[in-house]
Every structure is written in C-alpha cells, then in structure tokens.
A and B are shown apart, each in its own frame.
Chain A
Amino acid sequence: MELVMSAAIGVLGGCGVWLVLRPRTFQVVMGLSLMSYAVNLFIFSMGSLSIDAEPIIVPGVPPDLAHYTDPMPQALVLTAIVIGFAMTALFLVVLLASRGLTGTDHVDGAEDPDDAPPGAAVAIDTTPAADREHA
C-alpha cells in the first residue's frame, strides 16, 4: 500500500515538474494538473493509510486511529481539489487569451529567438506539436 502510494505520488510529481518546465503553455497546464494530483495524494497519505477503515465513528468502537481513518486529510483534499480545479480553469482561460493575443503558445508569448527566425514570433505557428519539439 505504502509502496504503491509513494510510487504514484513520485511518478505524478516527477512528470508534473518536468512538464511545468517545458516551454509550451499547454504542457505547463498539464504539469500543474499532475502536480496537484500528486499533492492531493500526498495530503491524503498524511492521515495514516488504512484499508477498510471509515472516518465515521461507530458506537462501541474506541475512537482512535487504530480503528478509524483520519477524516481531516480527506476534508483538506476536498478543499484542495476544488481550489486547484478552479485555478486550472482560470489558467486555461489566460492561456487561450495569451495564444490569441500573441499568436504563439510559448510561455513567454514569443518564440525563442535562437530557435525561430525573426518575424516568426508573431506568425501563428501551425506546425504540429511533434515537429515543434525538435525545433
């Protein structure tokens, strides 16, 4: 259980960080989403992992973490999911606005001058994403 959780958090977090460092806005959005999944799982795991335990107290069972799972991280995760979802949606809108205004999906709003010829910065880049990766 612990191994699966930590591997999941690690893979999601690692992919998220790599994508956030990419130069295209869509990749950054995906990276931020993956990071927030990793963080949500992490919060969840902070309340001691347990199988087949519920957070609602049943009469007759002593109320401690040996018999129940901690309800607090679940509440925190719920809040974090809602906030993260809203912020990602907002970021997507800004991404589209940036794409519309600058004509490129580079995070700086202009192509890297080392990679692209001058003048290409304002032209709408229609090359497929796979080709752009190699540029």
Chain B
Amino acid sequence: MIGWLGQGMPHLIAAPILLPLFAAALMVAMGERRRAGRALVNVLASLLGLAVAVALLVWVDGEGVPGVYLAGNWPVPFGIALVVDRLSALMLVLAGVLGAAAVLYSTARWDRAGVHFHPLFQLQLMGLNGAFLTADLFNLFVFFEVMLAASYGLLLHGSGTARVRAGLHYIAINLLASSVFLIGVSMLYGVTGTLNMADMAQKLAAVPASDRGLLNAAVAILSVAFLAKAAMWPLGFWLAPAYAAASAPAAALFAIMTKVGIYAVLRVWTLFFAGGDDASAAFGSGMLVVGGLATLAFGALGVMASQRLGRLAGFSIVVSSGTLLAATGLGLPALTGGALYYLASTTLAVGAFYLLIELVERARAVNVDAPEPDDDTDHLPFALELVELPQDVNLDDDEHALVGKVFPAAIVFLGIAFIGCALLIAGLPPLSGFVAKFGMLSALLNPGGLGDLGATPVPVAGWVLVALLIGSGLVATISLARAGIRYFWAPQDRPAPRLRVVECLPIAALLFACAALTVRAEPVLRYAQDTALALHRPSVYIDAVMSARPVTQPSWRPEASAKEGGT
C-alpha cells in the first residue's frame, strides 16, 4: 500500500486542492438545469477527495516525515510549497468525512433551495484543504479567502431574513479579520523577509533584539485573525447566530471552519515558538491559555442558556474551541495529543448534530405548530410559556393507550442518534468524547508523564482547565437532556416524521465514525501523540520543507529545439 502510494507522491499532495477546483468548474459549466448531474459530480468528488485524504494520511503515517510538493517546481523559500504532515493529513480526513456526509445529506432536499450549492460546496472544500496544506503564510491567507467566500454563499443558501441578517454580521467580521490577517502577514514579511513558514521559523532566531517587539506584535496581530476564526472569547460572538441560521449541510461543514483557526494557531505557534529557547520562546502561551479558558466558560454558559438546538450546537463548538486553545497554550505534548483526538471526535459529533437537528425540528414541526423561541431576545431556559401541553392528550385517563404501541422507526432512529450526539458532545462514556476528555485529563494531571508521580506540579491553569472540562461536560449533559425531554419525551399528538435514507445515512456514518474512534482508540491516540510530538519538535517539519529540491529538468538541447523550431 505504502509502496503503491509512493508512486503517486508527491503529486498526490496537490490533489485535495485541484480535485474540488476542477469539480466546481465542471459543475459551473454544466449549467443550472442538470441538477442531478451536478449532485452526482459533487458526491463523487467529495468521496474521491475523502479517499485521497485517507491515502495521504496512510502515506504520511507510514513515512514519518512530511511530504513536500513544490508547486511550479520553484525552489523552496521562493515558490509556494504544499506540505502534508500528520496534522494536515488528520485535518484533511476530517474535512473529507464531513464534506462527504454533508453533501450526501444535501441531495435529499437542500441542494434545491438555491442555484449554486454544489459548486460553492466544492470551493469551500478547496479552501479548507488548501489552508491545511499550504506552507506559505500569504497563501494561507488566499485559501482562507477562498474558504470564506464560499462560506458566505453557503451561509446565505436558502435565503430568508435570518440568514441574511446573520450573514451580514458574519461577512463584516470576517472581512475585518482578513484585514488584520494581512497586517500581521506583511509585518512578519517586513521583519523576516520571507513568507514561507518554515523559512520564517528558521530566521526568527536571527531577528535582532531591536526588532523583537515588532516581531511579537506581528505574531499577536496575526493571531487575532486566527482566533477570531476560532471564535475565542471575546472574538467569537458571531458564531452561534451565524451557524444556527445556516442550512443543515452548510452548518455541518462549518463545524470544521473554527478548527481551521485552531489549526493555524497550532501550526504557526508551534513552528515559531515551540522549538528554540530564544527570547520569544513560548510567546503568547499565557494569552492562549487564559483566552481558551474564558472561551470554554463562555461557551458552557451559552450551552446552558440555549433554547434552540442550533444555538446549542453553536455554543458547543465554542466550548470545543476553548478546550483546544487552552490545551494548546499549556504546551504539553501529551496534552496536545489528547486535544487532537478531541478535535477529531468533537468535529464529527457536532457535524452529525447539525444534520440531526434539522430532522428533529422537522419531526416536531410536522403538525404541532410549536412556539419557536427566538434566542436573540433573552428567555429563561425552560420558561413556562414554552412548555406547550397539547389539549387532546390526557395522560391520567388514557395512559394505557400508550402501552404496547410500537415506536415508529423514524423516531427510534432520531432518538438513538440524538443520544449518540449528546454522549459525544457531553463527553460521557462509552463513546469517543469520553476517551478524548479522559486523555486530556490524564495528561493534565500527570504533566511529567505517568512514570513520575507528583514530581512535576500541575499548573494552576491546568487545575482550572480540569474543572472547566468536567463542568462543561455536566452543563452540556443538563442542556442536552433538557432538549431531549422537550423534543422526544413531551406528549405530542403527531404522526411519525418521514425521513429519507440519504438523510439518515450521513448521520449514521458520522456517528459510526465516532464509534470507530472509540473502538480503535489506541491507534488513533498513538497517531495523535505522534502528531503532537512532531508539532513540539518543529525542526522535522522545517528540515523537510527546506531540504526539498526542485525536480531537475530533462537536459535541454538547444540544437534539437532549434531544429524543431526551424521546421
């Protein structure tokens, strides 16, 4: 398998960017009428993209060193390089899984709600994959913009006042963040004279003390852009309304968009500041930890206060962002490893939850016109006027009528999927959310490794993170149980909702992927630990990029070409 894959390398590294690009171009060329053809192209391209991502992951894990692709065969610091290492491959696979699930789901209903859903979807995947693969800071900006431009379209897909209103805020915030991004990148270029991240990391040690302040300011400004993307408090208020307004498949794909911010922080911060112990070593780690903890607390409060499931899912994304940022900032390789496993688990779980929410709310809206609480205005959770009691169901008199009734299959599926998502998001056993939290807690409470008992004290921030991790799990359990009671347990006189197989299949597949993460926790955690170790030893990545050489040209014979030119 590895040998076979080796044939296609390093050219396969460009495939996750080129494939969606060509698929999108093909779909635009096909025109608006051929809806089924476009859907088919989109599904096939997404599945193929997932296969490529998995192949890259297998190759990188077997090889152990990052693979480098020099676009246009330019030598390293000058041309744009694409690099796949363990972290990139992991993110590619996550994006691929979510993309394939969301596009399958969209073929049931949502792709009819607007014209260019399918091309936009592929372009969004292209932006995501490009951001994960590029080794160049300005190129990262370009792929961020590709991803964002497509996400504006996807967020507005289906139109409606709520989407346009949320989209307006979302676009304004992201345009501002892009300006900040550009300021940071250009300052870093001014200080180091390069845009290649590996080259920049090498040159940081040589930055004179007089430029240190400028360098730190540049990195801080750049990280504001990343952290706004990752929805760190107080930069993340845009997230919950925007994601709650998005259509289900778009929201499921957006579940990985905050992770792009986390990825960028992990990549840039570990490259620049994890390796050496010069003047800027571990610069900003305190900010990451404090910001992450505040985000985690804010997200947990938001989860508690949410009425609608869409907002609840949005705030659980905020919770996972906070957890990841704080875990990254603490800078322990074992903790980062646990956090990467958590990243995989939580991304898939929230993606599945967004898809599920639409089905659950449709099931509820079949004929009960429930009052829809709008969370833009403040409601008390479980406010009395929201507990609607149908008039024609009298539990005391007719209780025997419920006995021996068979549950409709659709309700059973929705119920089981909801429980699965709730377990994953709250981090309860037996699913992968629990394994992830356990991995992080274990790394937090044994900072020196399992061998040295109590020799290395746990930092205060570590204790706060432990408390917040457990507390946020409790809060998520309460909120999801409350929502479950309202949606599944409350007496409602209604027929069973009709679900289609293409809608249930992606949810089942995502939950199955989480179950697989649980069953195969050991190899996945091992992979995550290897990734974390490589991140905290950035010299491997830097050497791989800097030692990449362009392919030598076939010898050019002037007399031969002159002869051809003459004839």
Supposing A20-B176, A79-B138, A91-B171 touch, asked if A102 and B165 sit within 8 A by C-beta, the answer is yes
- The answer to whether A94 touches B182 (Cβ under 8 A) is no
* CB neighbours of B187 from chain A (8 A): 46
Quick one: which of B142, B168, B172, B183 contacts A39, CB cutoff 8 A?
A: B183
Q: How far is the CB of B445 from chain A (nearest CB, A)?
A: 44
Question: Quick check: A43 and B175 within 8 Å, CB to CB?
Answer: no
Taking residues whose C-beta sits less than 8 angstroms from the other chain, chain B's interface range is: 20 to 34
Contact of B168 among A20, A43, A46, A98 (CB under 8 A): A98
Secondary structure dominating the interface of A: helix
Shortest distance from the beta carbon of B24 to any chain A beta carbon, whole Å = 16
Q: For B167, what are the chain A residues with a Cβ–Cβ distance below 8 Å? A: 94
CA A32 to CA B169, docked complex, whole Å: 13
Given contacts A46-B187, A73-B189, A102-B161, contact A107 B168 (CB under 8 A): yes
Check if B164 is an interface residue, CB within 8 A of chain A.
yes
B61 at the interface (CB under 8 A from A): no
Closest chain-A Cβ to B136's Cβ sits at a distance in Å of 11
Chain B 159-187 per-residue mask, 1 if CB under 8 angstroms from chain A, else 0: 11100110111011001101100110111
Q: Of all chain B residues, which has the CB nearest A102?
A: B161
User: Does B168 lie within 8 Å of A32, measured CB to CB?
Assistant: no
Q: Which of A39, A47, A72, A102 contacts B179 (CB 8 A)?
A: A39
B390 within 8 A of A: no
Residues of A within 8 A of B195 (CB): 72
Residue pair B182, A43 in contact (C-beta under 8 Å) = yes
- Chain A residues with CB under 8 Å of B411's CB are none
* Chain B residues whose CB sits within 8 angstroms of the CB of A35 once the complex forms: 176, 179
Residues on A with C-beta less than 8 A from B224 are none
A50-81 vs B, Cβ < 8 Å mask (1 yes, 0 no): 00000000000000000000001100100110
B237 within 8 A of A: no
Residues of A with C-beta under 8 A to B169: 107
Question: Is A83 in contact with B152, judged by CB distance below 8 angstroms?
Answer: no
Asked if A130 CB lies within 8 Å of chain B CBs, one says no
Residues on A with beta carbons closer than 8 Å to the beta carbon of B179: 32, 35-36, 39
Cβ contact within 8 Å between B138 and A76: yes
Q: Which B residue sits closest to A86, measured CB to CB? A: B149
Find chain B residues with CB under 8 A from A79 CB.
Answer: 138, 142
Residue of A nearest to B152 (CB): A90
Determine if A101 is an interface residue (Cβ-Cβ < 8 Å). Answer: yes
Some 30 contacts from A to B, beta carbons below 8 A apart, are A20-B172, A28-B172, A32-B176, A35-B176, A42-B183, A42-B186, A46-B186, A46-B187, A46-B189, A72-B195, A73-B186, A76-B138, A76-B185, A76-B189, A79-B138, A84-B175, A87-B171, A88-B175, A90-B149, A90-B171, A91-B175, A95-B168, A98-B165, A98-B168, A101-B160, A102-B161, A102-B164, A108-B165, A109-B164, A109-B168
Closest 7 CB pairs between A and B? A46-B190, A109-B165, A43-B186, A46-B186, A101-B161, A39-B179, A98-B164
A43-B183, A47-B189, A97-B156 given. 15 additional CB < 8 A pairs? A20-B176, A42-B182, A72-B189, A80-B182, A87-B149, A91-B172, A94-B167, A97-B159, A97-B164, A98-B164, A101-B161, A107-B169, A107-B172, A108-B165, A109-B161
A residues apposed to B, CB below 8 Å: 20, 25, 28, 32, 35-36, 39, 42-43, 46-47, 72-73, 76, 79-80, 83-84, 86-88, 90-91, 94-95, 97-98, 101-102, 107-109
